[in-house]
Chain A
């Protein structure tokens, strides 16, 4: 079985500051890793995914994440955030060959000016 821990429930930052949203996972098998974002009153949108290969993954809107197998982490980063990045961010894993996504509890990113 897999599990996901998002270490911060809320992250407030100022516009143009860097941000890191932390995600750790637990699994006895190899996994795929994902970050989804939910803007207010919208559905979940895929930000980026790690399936294999390079451990640094680039996604949409300037976000990137790094897979660290030894630390079982998949932290999300952005060097300079905008007001429009205010949203809830979800880290998720899935066993390779499986289909169900296992989500963390979400991190609310609040960007202010």
Chain B
């Protein structure tokens, strides 16, 4: 069974540009999460989808970030326009049930560098 995949693995962009990150969860997982780790800081929750609906977006930093999950399969996270402080590693995770014994399966992350 394929794990959570993320694309791209790395992205280097200039301040003011737009970047779109993609996450493909494990097949059949209704729950999809986005997290971010800024260098030197802890991994922080951004938002949670249940199928195509946003269940919790309390961690989204501002309105430059837009997450979608059309059709309840893969998800995209768009940053527009990107700022220097957006640099970090963006992780996606998925789980089968709303709370399946806490098992969220993580992808390898996308490393974003904004210059």
Contacts and interface: CB of A to CB of B under 8 A. Distances in A.
A103 B38 CA distance: 13
A82 B56 CA distance: 40
Interface of A: 4, 32, 34, 36, 41-46, 49, 51, 90, 92, 94, 97, 99-106
A57 B58 CA distance: 31
State which size class the interface on B falls in: 20 to 34
B59 A43 contact: no
B109 A99 contact: no
Given A44-B93, A102-B45, 4 more contacts: A4-B42, A43-B4, A99-B99, A100-B33
Nearest to B92: A43
A24 to B, nearest CB: 14
B99 A97 contact: yes
Nearest to B40: A105
Contacts of B106: 36, 43-45
Given A32-B102, A44-B91, A94-B102, A99 B108 contact: no
Contacts of B99: 97, 99
B107 A101 contact: no
Interface in B78-106: 91, 93, 98-99, 101-106
A90 B104 CA distance: 14
Contact of B43 (A41, A46, A103): A103
Contacts of A99: 31, 33, 48, 55-56, 98-99
